[in-house]
Amino acid sequence: MGNKKTVGQRALFATKIGVIATTVGSAVGLGNIWRFPYEAGSNGGGAFMACYFMFIFIIGVPVICAEFIMGRGTRSNIFGAYRKLSPKGKWYVAGFMGILASVLILSFYSVVAGWILEYLIQSLTGSIKLADASANHVAFDEFSTSSFRPVIWTLSFLALNFLILINGVAKGIERMSNILMPMLFVLLVIFCINSLTLDKASEGLTFLFHPDFSKISPQVLLSAMGQAFFSLSLGLGCMTTYASYFGEGTKLGRTAMTTAILDTLVAILAGIIIFPAVFSFGFSPQAGPTLVFEVLPAVFNNLPGGVVWSSLFFLLLTLASLTSTISMSEISIAFMVEEWKLSRKVATIVNTLVAMFFGTLCALSFGVLSDVKIFGLTIFNLFDYASSNVLLPIGGMIASIFVGWVVDKRFVKSQMTGNGAYKSVLLPFVVFCLRYTAPAGIALVFLNSIGLI
């Protein structure tokens, strides 16, 4: 891999900014801009937000650190990391769960990214109906429930993901994230300012930021926890795999904190864009997965030169989605390359074909397969629910117990302090949370959601 630093066979991220940009690149994506608003909207707004913040900082940040420690300390994929740190234990089973979760997420995520591609093309060709919110609503409904276009876009998105992956980790991702993330951020700030000028902006902000604690239910807690894991790309070994490419000088605590803060900031910006518009233009906050696709055109319509903004936005969102799907693909690719000794090319092909198969099923589950229900959920919703609300928190709980209780304390300390070269203010907090608050918190939310407490 050219002039990149290497450890063994592995290419490392070349620069400090590369580390932050790629980690944030993985975390920031459709989870912030598509999933966060619809989950917040369906789960009582402020009540959801309050729980979400709490989970990000008392569970999310410590678990990111746990994954970083495992990845950088072993220079392995998630499965190899567990096995290297506990050769005789059965902890590596959690690695398989992470790989399963990554495939489920890649499949349904690509469908939503496909919808973004459709909107991008509609914006570029000028056929997007910005001026008429209800016409756009009908058009989106027609599009998402049809068979052909959503599938084609899902497959096209996965093909794009494939092309980037095949070029290797350092080159493709690093270069792209460095430019993309700041641009997306600026665009979001502009849209926020625009939304704040809408007549019912204050209603939207109250909905999002004023917690009505009586609305906190087991379902709200579970959804907020699932969203925290999903948004931080946590609990499935993504951060472990990425950290395996970090240089020795990367400060893990600081990188974890920066990632959590920037990721949360983007979600808040998305909320400030969407909810004032929801109330001002008469949408329902509870629309579910289609919420932002209905509301955003109305937002763009309110800006002078709406089509230009929407083109730019959907382009950047496509790229932000790619930096996330690249990271989730990397979980199973690193696994297949390191454990099965497949070539990177073959591993990437396998990953893409599996996602194409399940992605097609997810895409069709809004239309011809909408009657196929498992546990009362469509395939798309099942993949989303099972990964975010079940697999990721379980993966996070295992990682926190593993790093908190099983892994040698000196190893944890040396990873967090660069082998004693600097102090980590976060270390005592992280260790405490990994031992107690994270596993107990996740267990309580689970038990609560199935009615046991």
Point out which residues bind ligand PFF (CB under 6 A).
26-27, 29-32, 102, 105, 230-231, 233, 236, 238, 324, 327-328
Q: Is the CB of 236 or the CB of 243 nearer to ligand PFF?
A: 236
Nearest distance in Å: CB 30, ligand PFF: 5
Nearest distance in Å: CB 228, ligand PFF: 10
Nearest distance in Å: CB 96, ligand PFF: 15
Enter the tokens of residue 191: 């849209």
In degrees rounded to 5, what are phi and psi of residue 370?
-65, -20
Nearest distance in Å: CB 112, ligand PFF: 9
Q: Is the CB of 105 or the CB of 205 nearer to ligand PFF?
A: 105
Note whether 126 and 155 are within 8 A (CB): no
Q: How distant, in Å, are the alpha carbons of 170, 198, 254 from that of 352?
A: 19, 42, 33
Q: Is the CB of 91 or the CB of 230 nearer to ligand PFF?
A: 230
Q: Is the CB of 326 or the CB of 431 nearer to ligand PFF?
A: 326
Nearest distance in Å: CB 222, ligand PFF: 17
Q: Is the CB of 322 or the CB of 356 nearer to ligand PFF?
A: 322
CB contact burial 3-27 (16+ within 10 A = b; e otherwise): ebeeeeebbbbbeeebbbbbbbbbb
Q: Is the CB of 29 or the CB of 73 nearer to ligand PFF?
A: 29
Q: Is the CB of 31 or the CB of 45 nearer to ligand PFF?
A: 31
Note whether 85 and 409 are within 8 A (CB): no
Q: Is the CB of 113 or the CB of 277 nearer to ligand PFF?
A: 113
Nearest distance in Å: CB 329, ligand PFF: 9
Nearest residue by C-beta to ligand PFF? 31
Note whether 76 and 264 are within 8 A (CB): no
- Does residue 6 sit in helix, strand or coil? strand
Pairing of strands 6-7, 10-11: antiparallel
Nearest distance in Å: CB 110, ligand PFF: 12
Nearest distance in Å: CB 451, ligand PFF: 28
- Does residue 4 sit in helix, strand or coil? coil
Nearest distance in Å: CB 209, ligand PFF: 21
| CA nearest to 334, candidates 84, 110, 10, 88 | 10
Q: Is the CB of 280 or the CB of 324 nearer to ligand PFF?
A: 324
Note whether 339 and 77 are within 8 A (CB): yes
Enter the tokens of residue 315: 């382009």
Q: Is the CB of 311 or the CB of 324 nearer to ligand PFF?
A: 324
How many Å is the Cα radius of gyration of the chain? Answer: 21
Note whether 77 and 335 are within 8 A (CB): yes
DSSP string computed for 318-342: HHHHHHHHHHHHHHHHHHHHHHS--
Sign, CA dihedral 402-405-408-409, equals positive
Nearest distance in Å: CB 155, ligand PFF: 20
| CA nearest to 108, candidates 355, 373, 368 | 355
- Does residue 255 sit in helix, strand or coil? helix
Note whether 131 and 301 are within 8 A (CB): yes
